Amino acid sequence: MENYNPTRVIFSEFNLSEISSFISLHKKTLLVISETLLNLRPEIPSFFPEDTFLYSTSGSNPVLQTIDKIIFPESCSQVVGIGGGSKLDITKALFAKLISNNLMSLEKLVENPHLLDPFKSARAQYKLILVPTTSGSSSEITKWGTLWDFEKKKKFSVDNEVLYADTALVDPRLSLSAPKEITAFTGLDVLSHALESIWNKKRNFITINFALDSIRFCIEALPKLLKKLDSLEYRTAMSKACLLAGYAFSQTRTSAAHALSYPLTLFHDIPHGFACSITLGSIFDYNITKNDAGLNEVLDIFKNRYGNRDSSFHDCYELFLEDCEVPSKLSEYGVRQADIPRLVDNAFHPDRFNNMLCNLSLKQVKDIYHAVL
């Protein structure tokens, strides 16, 4: 067994003006920040060195080609990302280009992550700090960043140990401005990460315990938070759930539920958190028959809140989604039966499918999509 996560995590309330105590004011800095946050807090750049290069952006699902065209000073040795998961993924993609001396395109780096290996010896010369403003992707403590190519209908990752942040600053208050939909789909992403790390061939007793604690926080807090968005108590609980899920799946990666989600986002523009969570109920039963370690505990957690001793996970999970006031059927997102073949054809990602305890067949994938149609 191996468990490795080198990121220093500061989980507390802090003022963004205090970020200067975590960075060097003498290093050329690249700041990636959410456009929404920048509009709310236009003073944030003043907390950084005067010659900081600032890149602000909005929206989710960063496009590989767009990020690859961003030009930044190659003399930067400090990179800071502040925003939701997509902004932190962009930050790591730009950091990958920076430490590789901008010698390779992102297209090459996502095709062959080992191209970053020769630059490991120089990693100590750079600093990467990530500050999440949502509780979802756990990008602040993983070594990859997700990028999308909507023309080729592909999802990619820039992925290497050099992309672990030096420091992650987690303040639940930063998520208070997140609207209901973003709060919902980022929260469901947390649950997906936790569950997929449990039905995973790479799991260990450490990741299972992190994931179970994450699920307990999530199932208790998310439905309440979605009914009371200004609750710092529930925001804090979801920040804890996100951190714990991140510690779990940073070791295991995700599996089939994420693979099935990619074509839902690429072809139907379904937000990632919704897309990867909608099939969890259908996939659960395939895995518990292979190895129930951890999954029986998950079933008990859901039964205690949404069922009885005879309830199936699928039934409990549908009630959980109903409590979160989010759709539990693909048809509610505009997906039709005629779309299923294309979804199936684009769902098979070996690096995700091979992680799962249960190896899904083509027919099983088709059945899962139909079950949530």
Mean per-residue pLDDT for 97-108?
A: 94
Residue 64, pLDDT > 80, answer yes
Instruction: Look at residue 173 in the predicted model and tell me its pLDDT.
Output: 97
pLDDT-based confidence at 104, cuts 50/70/90?
very high
Which CATH architecture group holds 179-371?
Up-down Bundle (1.20)
48-60: pLDDT as tens digits = 999 999 999 998 9
| Mean pLDDT of all residues in 84-89 | 97
Query: pLDDT band at 352, cuts 50/70/90?
Result: confident
Give the residue extent of every domain in the chain. 8-173, 179-371
| Separation of alpha carbons 133 and 242, rounded Å | 12
Quickly name the fold that domain 8-173 has.
Rossmann fold (3.40.50)
CA atoms within a 13 Å half-sphere pointing along the CA-CB vector of 77: 11
Looking at every residue in the chain, the average pLDDT score rounds to 95
Mean pLDDT over 40-69 rounds to: 94
State yes or no: pLDDT of 350 exceeds 80.
Answer: no
Indicate whether 29 pLDDT > 80.
yes
pLDDT of amino acid 20: 86
Domains 8-173 and 179-371 agree in fold: no
Mean pLDDT confidence for 257-264: 95
Structural tokens at position 354:
């091979």
Q: How far apart are CA 5 and CA 285, in angstroms?
A: 31
CA–CA dist 312, 58 (Å, integer): 40
The answer to whether 328 and 372 are in contact (CB under 8 A) is yes
Give per-residue pLDDT as tens, 124-138: 999 999 999 999 999
% the chain with pLDDT above 90: 89
pLDDT tens, position by position, 219-238: 999 999 999 999 999 999 99
Average confidence (pLDDT) over 194-221: 97
Q: What is the pLDDT of residue 277?
A: 95
- Give me the pLDDT at residue 5, please: 97
pLDDT at res. 202: 95
User: For 86, left (φ over 0), alpha (ψ -120 to 50), or beta?
Assistant: alpha
Using CA atoms, how far apart are residues 190 and 192, in angstroms rounded to an integer?
5
SS (H, E, C) the chain: CCCCCCCEEEECCCCHHHHHHCCCCCCCEEEEEEHHHHHHCCCHHHHCCCCCEEEEECCCCCEHHHHHCCCCCCCCCEEEEEECHHHHHHHHHHHHHHHCCCCCCHHHHHHCHHHHHHHHHHHHHCEEEEEECCCCCCHHHCCEEEEEECCCCEEEEEECHHHCCCEEEECHHHHCCCCHHHHHHHHHHHHHHHHHHHCECCCCHHHHHHHHHHHHHHHHHHHHHCCCCCCHHHHHHHHHHHHHHHHHHHHHCCCHHHHHHHHHHHHHCCCHHHHHHCCHHHHHHHHHCCCCCCHHHHHHHHHHHHCCCCCCHHHHHHHHHHHCCCCCCHHHHCCCHHHHHHHHHCCCCHHHHCCECCCCCHHHHHHHHHHCC
pLDDT in tens, 234-254: 999 999 999 999 999 999 999
How confident is the model at residue 351, as a pLDDT? 77
Residue in the block written with tokens 């996939």: 283
The pLDDT-based confidence of 285 (bands split at 50, 70, 90) is confident
